[in-house]
Amino acid sequence: MAGLSAARHLADAGQSVTVLEARPRIGGRIETDRSAGFAVERGAGWIHGTQGNPLIDMTRRAGLSLRATSYDRGMSLALDATGMKIPPARLEAADAQLMDLLRQVDAQSDSPARQSLAAALVRISHGGVLPPLVAALLRLEITGDLGADPEDLDAGSFDDDAALDGGDHWIVEGYDRIPALLARGLDIRLDEAVVSVEERADGLRVTTNRATHEADQVVVALPLGVLKSGDIVLPEAALGRRRQAMERIGVGTLFKLAVPVTGALPAVDVILPADPALAPWTALYPLRQAPWPALMLVAGGKGGRALEQTSMESAMAAADALLARLQLPRIDRKRNWQMASDWSRDPFARGSYSFPLTGGGAKDFELLAKPQGKRLFFAGEHCLFAHHATVHGAWMSGEAAARDVLAT
């Protein structure tokens, strides 16, 4: 999204632009699966906020429809480790306790705090152990959102970003319609993975697995996981302090597994496995768009990464065990369909999205966004702390990079 956004803004401003895309498709970590005849998202799934979100205008231009998803009472169902419904009053009391703890952490922590969120919570509670339901809600709200564990998140930076109002929405027709709209008319070279970018006296040389390109300016819109891997050689002058910043920014994992199930599901937007024993699963989403009962199960953090690293059969077995404990319909093995994410194993992603590690904060994200001279520019969700880990953040960072190019 960052690369397409930058390319779209530059092309619309009259610049000659070539997009080099390593994959055989556009969209990066936006990937819509339609193998079962309906849209399911392997990657980015939600438009987060409708107020001030540039994606909303694109959905209108593309004629797409949105469906709100809500965690509010009546639209969510919280279950304990035996499948019993947790009474709303008990759930609300635990959520209020968690919010109070997080407010205390925020009030007592600078950004960056150089202390993990988990350690800060222990300090706030004077070394005590969080009540099980509060601990479960922490995992659901933090790990399920950021794709990272409280032990890895900086206590002062984990919630310092900016959220847009308007709630979360799914795109009924599929998220990939947005990059398709941005890509119209652009010169995009698919299956062309960049190997290196070299500075020359008269510009930049970009070497790929297929060709060599000469450019006046380059926007590097690689995912943070790829930048951190060192797989692509960039000019040393462009790395320097960026390496230190990248050491303070992690790449989280949000694992998704979509499966058919054997019976009707509760008429809610989300089912919350609200017990520490149910980790690493953070949420279950009934797929209403499916012609038969189907469910998307989500797991975050290290546990989610472990599920991505295992086989499909092992992941399905783990999911089936969860469904059994929650007393929900089991996986329908008669339907030969399932979909799973593998972003942590994907060499062109190496994870889902960025988060501030202990000691990391806004300045590290800002440093990653800084141009190198007047030729090399950077974009990606990891380049905009206020909206990192979001598609609209990637889009905004691409727009910002394009503005910087046009200003030189």
The string of pLDDT tens digits covering residues 216-271 is: 999 999 999 999 999 999 999 999 889 999 999 999 999 999 999 999 999 999 99
- pLDDT (mean) for 167-192: 97
**What are the CA-CA distances from residue 396 to residues 179, 242, 264 (Å)?**
14, 20, 40
pLDDT of residue 231: 94
Q: Are 160 and 111 in contact (CB under 8 A)?
A: yes
What value does the mean pLDDT of the chain take? 96
Q: Concatenated DSSP letters for 277-316?
A: GGTTEEEEEE-TTSSS-EEEEEEEHHHHHHHHHS-HHHHH
pLDDT of residue 129: 87
Q: Are 43 and 218 in contact (CB under 8 A)?
A: no
In the DSSP assignment, the letter for residue 365 is H
Rounded Cα distance, 238 and 240, in Å: 6
pLDDT exceeds cutoff 80 at 298? yes
What tens digit of pLDDT does each residue of 76-126 get? 999 999 999 999 999 999 999 999 999 999 999 888 999 999 999 999 988
pLDDT of residue 221: 98
| pLDDT band for position 128 (cuts 50, 70, 90) | confident
pLDDT of residue 71: 80
pLDDT of residue 177: 97
What tens digit of pLDDT does each residue of 34-60 get? 999 999 999 999 999 999 999 999 999
Task: Enter the tokens of residue 121.
Answer: 């919570």
| pLDDT band for position 192 (cuts 50, 70, 90) | very high
Q: Are 257 and 319 in contact (CB under 8 A)?
A: yes
Quote the pTM value: 0.95
pLDDT exceeds cutoff 80 at 73? no
User: 112: cis peptide before it, omega within 30°?
Assistant: yes
Element (H, E) at 198: strand 194-200
Name, in order, each residue with C-beta under 8 angstroms of 247's C-beta and a sequence gap of 6 or more.
357
| Residue type for position 115 | Q
pLDDT exceeds cutoff 80 at 214? yes
For residue 55, count other CB atoms closer than 10 A to its CB.
24
